[in-house]
Structure 1
Amino acid sequence: MRARAGGGVGGSVTPLVERWQGAGNVYLLVDARELTQPLTAATATALVAECGGDGVLELSTGSAGADVSMRIWNPDGSESEACGNGTRMVARWASERLGQADISIATAAGVLPCHVDGETITARLAPATLAGPQYRPNDEAFPYVHTFVSVGNPHVVIPVDDVDAFPLATQGPLLEHHSWFPERANVEITTMLDRHHLRMRVWERGVGETPACGSGACAAAVAAVATGVADSPVTVMLPGGELVIEVGDDGGVTMHGPAERIESFELPPTILSLLA
């Protein structure tokens, strides 16, 4: 990809931050090639604290043959393996710069192929699994019927009769840090409307309750199909918008949804001083 004129290490132009949103999730996109040094947990936390958003997506030259690499920072300074809504944002961001519709994104969960068609982006996430090292049941009781799903990052999907009535503000942090999840977990609360539609609220690991979570929507759809209450494709209705999720027999998960730039602005001086 092309670096912005005057940017790069030692460049005289102040690095830009781009604020993007997808289905209500808001992320700050930063091109690492314009920074004097990579972000750290402290600088990512400070950037979100000053500028807002659900996290930071630090972008760099693609690895493993991908068009771009994405590092995902949560507001608490932790990192995430996957971010569905962020993946779509980065796909459109890279598509605009490269002038191509098909984009591959290197993440901690693997290389994710995407296709950009205007404001609608299709992204194939890491294959879903219902077990693994991120899920370790033990002698401690778990308070809810649930399905564990990993799409690179860990999720616990809890079906309820009414998502609005669930006390997510109090139960979310307890479930995120439950001992069954050695890497913590994202928490999805779901209610089926019919075999192709469900409502969902989400408590994101390292973030809290957010209007949407793309990987969480994928996990919710996988859980619904796996437990026999839904058929693919599944439209997941979130407070911030809707996402359409295809679940394959092989565990493949494909997500369709929007992504758009809200604004661009210069990196605040307080953050620049932390990177000096």
Structure 2
Amino acid sequence: MADRLAFTKMQGLGNDFMVIDAVSHDIDPDPLLTAERIRRWSDRHFGIGFDQLLLVETSHRRDMDFRYRIFNADGGEVEQCGNGARCFARYVAERGLTRRRDIRVETAGGPIVLSLTDDNRVRVDMGHPRFEPEAIPFKPPITETAPPYSLMLSGRPGGIDQVRADVVSMGNPHAVVQVDDLDRYPVAEAGAAIESHPAFPRRVNAGFVQQLAPDHIRLRVFERGAGETLACGTGACAAVAAGIRAGRLRSPCRVELRGGELSIEWSGDDERPLYMTGPAEFVFDGSVPL
């Protein structure tokens, strides 16, 4: 193994990533990507600074072009990341790893298809949202059989003792909470309490939604293992899916995040895929010592 590791820094709406290419370089990721090392690299004062680390690998499946792995800033591996998926697509295309415009990618949360558009944006087939509690996984209150579900928050974080949440899997778990004033809501405190709530045995991403119109929402997301980020692609998908299913929203829906905007399309059919379109940008290339 070389004494330095090459990487690329990318961002999608301010959600930023360290991208490692295990296709072009001789890298054995399992001993390399330890939780301690990822935590050190993710530190914004002493390291590179990022929300997630993305690993580009060759897929062993004949029907897939690549394998895509995602690690949060705390070192834990997760199933899916929508903003990261868009960065992944631009990376493999612009680095010459594929000539396809529609790229089939294997993830821990299931296969996805990434489509490059003519305006340098990426449209992602995110698969279909799932709402069954076991798909999250989520343990609903015994007395409740339909969303939104009541979640009691111990310690009254930010003065909040209870929230009502929709639960959605976009290949990774999301709890979606409707709020009246997103700017004044205690996202950090309530988000941390929801993330580690005992009803979610694998933890959960907590999204807070302020609806502006039937086709326009604002969203802030406290991500599992990363804290609040400037944008969360799967969080935007989950928020819109929950809103369409409840009859509050219609497709396509504009999602306004702190880092920019995404467009989400979904028919409302549980068996039909949901599509997310947004930007992905290169920031810089570098290397770190091993």
Which deviates more from structure 2 when the two are superposed, residues 178-187 or residues 92-101?
Answer: 92-101
Residue 130 of structure 1 deviates from its aligned partner by 1.2
Secondary structure of the 2:100 match is: coil
Counterpart pick for 2:58 among 61, 71, 82: 61
Which deviates more from structure 2 when the two are superposed, residues 42-51 or residues 164-173?
Answer: 42-51
In the alignment, the residues of structure 2 paired with residue 151 and residue 31 of structure 1 have an alpha-carbon distance, to the nearest angstrom, of 25
Counterpart pick for 1:37 among 22, 28, 32: 28
Counterpart pick for 1:146 among 157, 165, 178: 165
| Aligned twin of 1:256 | 277
In the alignment, the residues of structure 2 paired with residue 188 and residue 198 of structure 1 have an alpha-carbon distance, to the nearest angstrom, of 12
Secondary structure of the 1:44 match is: helix
Given that residues 147 and 157 in structure 1 are in contact (C-alpha distance below 8 angstroms), is that contact kept between their aligned partners in structure 2? yes
| Aligned twin of 1:113 | 113
CA separation of 1:141 and 1:254: change in aligned 2, threshold 3 A: closer
Given that residues 151 and 164 in structure 2 are in contact (C-alpha distance below 8 angstroms), is that contact kept between their aligned partners in structure 1? no
Matched AA of 2:282: R
| Aligned twin of 1:136 | 139
Given that residues 91 and 104 in structure 1 are in contact (C-alpha distance below 8 angstroms), is that contact kept between their aligned partners in structure 2? no
Q: Deviations over 1:70-114 (max 9, x none)?
A: 110001111111100000110111122212211111100111011
Residue 62 of structure 1 deviates from its aligned partner by 2.2
| Aligned twin of 2:159 | none
Secondary structure of the 1:145 match is: strand
Residue 37 of structure 1 deviates from its aligned partner by 2.4
Question: When the two structures are superposed, what TM-score results if normalisation uses the length of structure 2?
Answer: 0.85
In the alignment, the residues of structure 2 paired with residue 174 and residue 122 of structure 1 have an alpha-carbon distance, to the nearest angstrom, of 33
Matched AA of 1:137: P
Given that residues 91 and 105 in structure 1 are in contact (C-alpha distance below 8 angstroms), is that contact kept between their aligned partners in structure 2? no
Residue 129 of structure 1 deviates from its aligned partner by 1.0
5+ residue gaps, structure 2, are: 143-149, 153-161
In the alignment, the residues of structure 2 paired with residue 124 and residue 182 of structure 1 have an alpha-carbon distance, to the nearest angstrom, of 27
In the alignment, the residues of structure 2 paired with residue 163 and residue 106 of structure 1 have an alpha-carbon distance, to the nearest angstrom, of 35
In the alignment, the residues of structure 2 paired with residue 108 and residue 230 of structure 1 have an alpha-carbon distance, to the nearest angstrom, of 29
Matched, 1:16 2:19: no
5+ residue gaps, structure 1, are: 1-9
Residue 241 of structure 1 deviates from its aligned partner by 0.4
Counterpart pick for 1:46 among 37, 40, 44: 40
In the alignment, the residues of structure 1 paired with residue 201 and residue 189 of structure 2 have an alpha-carbon distance, to the nearest angstrom, of 20
Matched AA of 2:226: V
Which deviates more from structure 2 when the two are superposed, residues 128-137 or residues 213-222?
Answer: 128-137
1:171-182 alignment, distance < 5 Å:
171-182=190-201
In the alignment, the residues of structure 1 paired with residue 101 and residue 183 of structure 2 have an alpha-carbon distance, to the nearest angstrom, of 38
Residue 220 of structure 1 deviates from its aligned partner by 0.6
Q: Deviations over 1:201-238 (max 9, x none)?
A: 11000000111000000001001111111111111000
In the alignment, the residues of structure 1 paired with residue 184 and residue 264 of structure 2 have an alpha-carbon distance, to the nearest angstrom, of 25
Given that residues 9 and 18 in structure 2 are in contact (C-alpha distance below 8 angstroms), is that contact kept between their aligned partners in structure 1? yes
Counterpart pick for 2:76 among 75, 78, 84: 78
Given that residues 151 and 163 in structure 2 are in contact (C-alpha distance below 8 angstroms), is that contact kept between their aligned partners in structure 1? no
Matched AA of 1:17: F
Given that residues 130 and 148 in structure 1 are in contact (C-alpha distance below 8 angstroms), is that contact kept between their aligned partners in structure 2? yes
| Aligned twin of 2:157 | none
In the alignment, the residues of structure 2 paired with residue 248 and residue 108 of structure 1 have an alpha-carbon distance, to the nearest angstrom, of 25
| Aligned twin of 1:235 | 254
Which deviates more from structure 2 when the two are superposed, residues 161-170 or residues 235-244?
Answer: 161-170
Which deviates more from structure 2 when the two are superposed, residues 109-118 or residues 190-199?
Answer: 109-118
Residue 67 of structure 1 deviates from its aligned partner by 1.4
Q: Tell me how many residue pairs correspond in the alignment.
A: 259
Matched AA of 1:111: P
Matched, 1:28 2:25: no
Residue 13 of structure 1 deviates from its aligned partner by 8.8
Which deviates more from structure 2 when the two are superposed, residues 107-116 or residues 141-150?
Answer: 141-150
Could you tell me the percent identity over the aligned residues? 37
Matched AA of 1:51: I
In the alignment, the residues of structure 2 paired with residue 220 and residue 249 of structure 1 have an alpha-carbon distance, to the nearest angstrom, of 13
Given that residues 177 and 185 in structure 1 are in contact (C-alpha distance below 8 angstroms), is that contact kept between their aligned partners in structure 2? yes
Secondary structure of the 1:47 match is: helix
Secondary structure of the 1:16 match is: strand
Residue 14 of structure 1 deviates from its aligned partner by 4.3
